[in-house]
Structure 1
């Protein structure tokens, strides 16, 4: 190699070493940087390119499963807490709540609250109010009646079909769930009963072997449990206990293979008429 080429090669090597040295001393992203970037981006849940760790030369980012699992856990806990607040009426219909204020209440940043609220918006529980937060949807008696009708259209035919095909021993396995709804109703907590109620209905519908049925019916069921505007809770303790005892009565009729009793009890449970 001639002297000029050697000098050029040496210069190139020095530049590569300098670049490598510069990369080695870059300050790593600090914890919470992604959350801050999301907040700066207007609360969309998407940080800017630098915060996401995007590469310009096609290399995939290094996965960070521990961080993702922890973040998902926080979001899930906040979502559960917000759903409970909706059922109990603690989040009042028509009121607007901001993600930062709710974050302070739960002791977390605004980001997981915002993500949980966005999920509730998809479910129809809240609506986005630009630059303010999320308004709890006001639902009246008509909407609740429509949801009850939809539940009946979905679930009643399935219950009646299962009554003809599922053996008594499989129904008997649901006894703990049915009795769990009675205990939850007796406690008088609408949120606790709502969860026990959904668990029982979910287990019954699962006997049909149709995952989409379980998912869709569960979504409608959850929406039907939100209280109407002006009500502190969906139903009082006495109503919850009466509803729970319908579960045990239905299960008794199903185990006894009594189709007439099953038909009457199913009609009463979903439509309020014998």
Structure 2
């Protein structure tokens, strides 16, 4: 596990370090670990480690065991299904509202974020790409005039990030993700609510399919009919 350093908060860095260690297999699902030993490995105090573990526990990635430490949990596809079910319920209608009320300022701001995403894809900068991706979605949500809705969706995206799930480099690349935003921008530019909702639904559902597919592959169990229904699918996701 890499040593903690840099400008971001220690807690954020510990969250990232633990996620990376779980993904790499350095920290294994089902195993029990000590927060004290983790702090020693990272060469930092126990306070940011405990804060990070509390955040990861809230997201369902680890579980504390009294007087013993923490256990890494297997990532449950159901968590991602529920997050994306909520995103579909919240973001798709908001995209229609954004297209209906779009002005030149919103269109220009969305285009700027998409251009930035393409630039980050060219440079292979995953972290900055995802910041512009998130801002693109936030602009659509805020265009409806509901800041609370935008905050809720931001929290849902935080949950996905904290769980360490990503399609980048596994199911698709950054350029492919950017391309999925192009029909959304075109629909908003045309002030076409139905097309905007359809394009955003396709993008969010595709992301969900890929992420859930990765997790069901890890778990060795297929997506259940009930889970597929939450994602608007008649059955398990198509081949990835």
TM-score (norm 2): 0.66
The alpha carbon displacement at 1:234 in A equals 4.1
TM-fit CA distance, 1:127: 2.0
Q: Determine if the alignment matches structure 1 residue 82 to structure 2 residue 15.
A: yes
Following TM superposition, by how much is the alpha carbon of 1:187 offset from its aligned partner in structure 2, in angstroms?
Answer: 5.3
Match in the other structure for 1:40: none
Deviation digits for residues 219-258 of structure 1, max 9, x if unmatched?
2122234356xxxx54426344322221233123212323
Alignment length, in residue pairs?
A: 197
TM-score normalised by the chain length of structure 1: 0.59
Check 1:247–1:117 CA distance in 2 against 1; reply closer, same or farther (3 A cut).
same
Q: Is the Cα contact below 8 Å between 1:163 and 1:259 reproduced in 2?
A: yes
Partner of 1:174: 110
List alignment gaps of at least 5 residues for structure 2. 1-5, 207-231, 233-240
2:172 is aligned with 1:238:
yes
Q: Is the 8 A contact 1:98 1:132 kept in 2?
A: yes
From 53, 66, 74, the equivalent of 1:138 is: 74
The change in CA–CA distance for 1:243 and 1:174 in structure 2 (over 3 A counts) is same
For the pair shown, the structure with the greater C-alpha radius of gyration is 1
| 2:57–2:63 CA contact under 8 A, matched in 1 | yes
Tell whether the 8 Å contact from 2:32 to 2:70 is kept in structure 1 after alignment.
yes
CA distance in 1 between counterparts of 2:116 and 2:176 reads 14
Q: Which has the higher contact order (CA 8 A, sep 6+)?
A: 2
Bigger mean CA offset, 176-185 vs 142-151: 176-185
2:143 maps to which residue?
207
CA distance in 1, matches of 2:121, 2:87: 21
For the 8 Å contact 1:96–1:136, the answer to whether it is kept is: yes
Deviation at 1:269, TM superposition (A): 0.9
> Match for residue 258 of structure 1?
192
Aligned partner of residue 135 in structure 1, secondary structure: strand
Quote how far apart the aligned CAs of 1:189 are.
6.3
Q: 1:156 offset after TM fit, Å?
A: 0.9
Match of 1:124 among 60, 65, 70: 60
- Shift of the alpha carbon at 1:118? 1.4
Partner residue of 2:43 out of 89, 107, 112: 107
Give the Å deviation of 1:191: 5.0
Distance 1:270 1:134, change over 3 A: same
Query: How much does 1:109 deviate?
Result: 0.7
Over aligned residues, Cα RMSD in angstroms?
Answer: 3.3
Distance 1:220 1:256, change over 3 A: same
